[in-house]
Chains A and B, each alone.
Chain A
Amino acid sequence: MELVFQKTTGLTDKPTGYCPGCTHGIIHRLVAEVMEEMGILEDTVGVASVGCSVLAYEYFNCDMTQAAHGRAPAVATGLKRVLKDKFVFTYQGDGDLASIGTAEVVHAAARGENITVIFVNNAIYGMTGGQMAPTSLVGQVTATSPFGRDKTVQGSPIRVSELLATLDGAAYIERVSTHDVPNINKAKRAIRKAFETQKKGLGFSLVELLSSCTTNWGLDPVESLNWIKEQMVPVYPLGVYKDVGGGRK
């Protein structure tokens, strides 16, 4: 029989704990496939963060460490400065990266740390039960913004890709989405580009992936994907925000 599909060797056999309809699983697979295709699984250390993806160290089939909330870019800095010839990536959510870890990611980018950040933005805190994130949309109802995010009270969403792209140390920044197959394919190409950027030693690379949270958004999987497309994409425009290596726009 012809083998038409095989799970990537970049993932372990551990079943993930993600909710049905959550796109973390897809994003894990994309990162894992890229590592497998580049042949770097045995040359990579990943850094899991705190949030729904806290157990990522059990899923990615490479050396892994687990960082304190928001500190993954600092941990990755320590790893990369010692293991100069290896690949180092972080896998962080929006609460981790854009709230408690804002300083760490900004300064890692400013230093041009030659690491890759996989930034999963689903506009909410998932693991702790659906609290407002710095990336929550204006008007979005969450456990801690029960009347909808009011920008006069809680401020407006942070656009991380745009923010980091202003820094000279950032070499490659792209925002992609996971709401349909063409966008998922684009997301994979962006992740590949980010790891290639690291391979070339060009500096800091980050891929922001718009992602779903069926459980805390209170939507079914299809409605969730539509919510990304209709509500998130207009606030978080997709595209390449920085690419010092040139290439695709």
Chain B
Amino acid sequence: MMAKVLMKGNEVIAEAAVHAGCRYLFSYPITPQSELVAYMAKRLPEVGGLFLQAESEIAAINMVYGASSAGARVMTSSSSPGISLKQEGISYLAGSELPAVIVNVMRGGPGLGGIQPGQADYFQATKGGGHGDYHAPVLAPATLQEIVDLMQDAFDIADRYRTPVYLLGDGMLGQMMEPVEFKERAQMDLGPKDWATTATRGDERKVTNSLFLDPQELEEHNHRLQAKYKSIMENEVRYDTYLTDDADYIVVAFGTVSRIARNAIKKARDNGLKAGLIRPVSLWPFPEKPFIDTRDKVKAYLTVEMNAGQMVEDVRLQVEGRSPVYFYGRTGGMIPNSDEIYAQIFAIAGGDE
């Protein structure tokens, strides 16, 4: 067993990707994920891989497209404004059914925004982002250890379903330091990449492509994609709950915010308020079960995000109006603290400000 090591979040993302079999990273410099590419520039050559600094985010995601088409385990990393530039390429990856992992260490927006942590790219990541009918699975770790555990899943899901997958973190996760352990883990059972354009022809030449000029063919292609998304929704939902069994008030939060929410929940419990937490880990597919299990029992939900209210829309869809759903958010790189969240729970419970 490997000992725990103290590492910075961005470096953990990089090392976890290497452990998951990633051998190619194509990225363009952007804060706050800079340590990730610097780490990979040194690390990938040690394992026979390659980091290539692209001339733009657009080029980077298209290099990913080429490397993925060639059958490689490949990743790109960026932060919010850079992820916007990659959307064209992500749509093409989805359309051509090419696996890849896209890391977004989110910062505040819109526009150039700022460089402090944010969660404002939830809509972009979970609702398609680029043009056309597609989804990409989105995994949102809350701790550095969870990055290690989810990175293997991210690459395996990408390969199994031939889809781009997001690892969605934020600047806080990228910059914090925590002890982590890299446990060796078996891959999912994945077949050979017999679709890849490796120029090693077997029976027939290989083509990767997202163009279907015949509308009937394109609809059939879309039906295949939708069937795949249905399978992902059935098999790849991930979430975590904390003290929800007897909870009257459930906080819903993902990523780093969920850790702050836990402290608020402890404080609420100390003050006689039965609070709990639902933490979606896969933001798409969005978990249904923890809401089905609780929505007829709780007095209210409180969604807390570092944005102006994005995941709260998915929470409302799952709650189906059976309980009130409140929202508390901070934006622009401001981080909600546990006292603020506790104050929200206290107010929802009918307490005086």
Binding site for B on A (CB under 8 A): 42-45, 47-48, 54-55, 57-58, 61-68, 71, 74-83, 86-87, 103-104, 106-107
Q: Is B288 an interface residue (CB 8 A)?
A: no
**A66 to B210, Cβ gap below 8 A?**
yes
Looking at chain B's contact residues, is the secondary structure mostly helix, strand, loop, or mixed?
mixed
**A75 to B66, Cβ gap below 8 A?**
yes
**A75 to B199, Cβ gap below 8 A?**
no
Q: How far is the CA of A78 from the CA of B60 in the complex (A)?
A: 9
**A83 to B209, Cβ gap below 8 A?**
no
**B58 to A78, Cβ gap below 8 A?**
no
**Which one, B52, B92, B201, contacts A77 given CB within 8 A?**
B52
**Which one, B63, B74, B206, contacts A63 given CB within 8 A?**
B206
**B207 to A78, Cβ gap below 8 A?**
no
On whether A81 and B52 interact (CB within 8 A), knowing A75-B65, A86-B199, the answer reads yes
Q: How far is the CA of A43 from the CA of B26 in the complex (A)?
A: 24
Cβ distance B162 to chain A, nearest Cβ, rounded Å: 14
26 pairs of residues in contact across A and B, judged by CB atoms under 8 Å: A45-B70, A57-B209, A63-B198, A63-B201, A64-B207, A65-B65, A65-B69, A65-B208, A66-B96, A67-B62, A67-B92, A68-B62, A74-B62, A75-B63, A78-B65, A78-B66, A78-B70, A81-B66, A82-B66, A83-B198, A83-B199, A86-B198, A86-B199, A103-B56, A103-B59, A107-B59
Contacts of B88 in A (CB 8 A): 68
**B63 to A103, Cβ gap below 8 A?**
no
On whether A65 and B56 interact (CB within 8 A), knowing A44-B199, A57-B207, A78-B26, the answer reads no
Cβ distance B138 to chain A, nearest Cβ, rounded Å: 22
Contacts of B205 in A (CB 8 A): 61-64
Cβ distance A247 to chain B, nearest Cβ, rounded Å: 26
On whether A78 and B199 interact (CB within 8 A), knowing A71-B89, A104-B62, the answer reads no
Q: How far is the CA of A62 from the CA of B205 in the complex (A)?
A: 6
Q: Is B197 an interface residue (CB 8 A)?
A: yes
Q: How far is the CA of A82 from the CA of B59 in the complex (A)?
A: 16
On whether A47 and B199 interact (CB within 8 A), knowing A68-B88, A74-B58, A74-B59, the answer reads no
Cβ distance A65 to chain B, nearest Cβ, rounded Å: 4
Q: How far is the CA of A67 from the CA of B98 in the complex (A)?
A: 12
Q: Is B245 an interface residue (CB 8 A)?
A: no
Binding site for A on B (CB under 8 A): 24, 26, 50, 52, 54-56, 58-60, 62-72, 74, 88-89, 92, 96, 197-201, 205-211
Q: How far is the CA of A71 from the CA of B52 in the complex (A)?
A: 16
Contacts of A62 in B (CB 8 A): 199, 205
Contacts of B68 in A (CB 8 A): 78
B211: nearest residue on chain A (CB-CB)?
A66
**Which one, A42, A47, A74, A78, contacts B201 given CB within 8 A?**
A42
A104: nearest residue on chain B (CB-CB)?
B59
**Which one, A79, A104, A106, contacts B69 given CB within 8 A?**
A79
A43: nearest residue on chain B (CB-CB)?
B199
**A81 to B67, Cβ gap below 8 A?**
yes
- What number of A-B contacts does a CB cutoff of 8 Å give? 127
B54: nearest residue on chain A (CB-CB)?
A74
Contacts of A64 in B (CB 8 A): 197, 205-209
8 nearest CB pairs, A to B: A78-B66, A74-B62, A78-B67, A82-B70, A78-B63, A75-B66, A107-B55, A71-B62
Q: How far is the CA of A21 from the CA of B45 in the complex (A)?
A: 50
Q: How far is the CA of A67 from the CA of B58 in the complex (A)?
A: 12
Cβ distance B207 to chain A, nearest Cβ, rounded Å: 5
**A42 to B26, Cβ gap below 8 A?**
no
Contacts of B62 in A (CB 8 A): 67-68, 71, 74-75, 78, 104
**A65 to B63, Cβ gap below 8 A?**
no
Cβ distance B24 to chain A, nearest Cβ, rounded Å: 7
On whether A45 and B59 interact (CB within 8 A), knowing A66-B208, A78-B64, the answer reads no
Q: How far is the CA of A79 from the CA of B199 in the complex (A)?
A: 10
On whether A79 and B67 interact (CB within 8 A), knowing A57-B207, A65-B207, the answer reads yes
Contacts of B208 in A (CB 8 A): 64-66
Contacts of B206 in A (CB 8 A): 63-64
Contacts of A86 in B (CB 8 A): 198-199
Contacts of B198 in A (CB 8 A): 45, 63, 83, 86
Known A78-B74, A83-B70; 15 more pairs at CB < 8 Å? A42-B200, A63-B197, A63-B199, A64-B209, A65-B66, A65-B197, A68-B88, A78-B62, A78-B63, A78-B67, A81-B50, A82-B66, A83-B198, A104-B55, A106-B55
Contacts of A71 in B (CB 8 A): 58-59, 62, 65, 89
Contacts of B71 in A (CB 8 A): 82
Q: How far is the CA of A150 from the CA of B50 in the complex (A)?
A: 46
Q: How far is the CA of A78 from the CA of B65 in the complex (A)?
A: 7
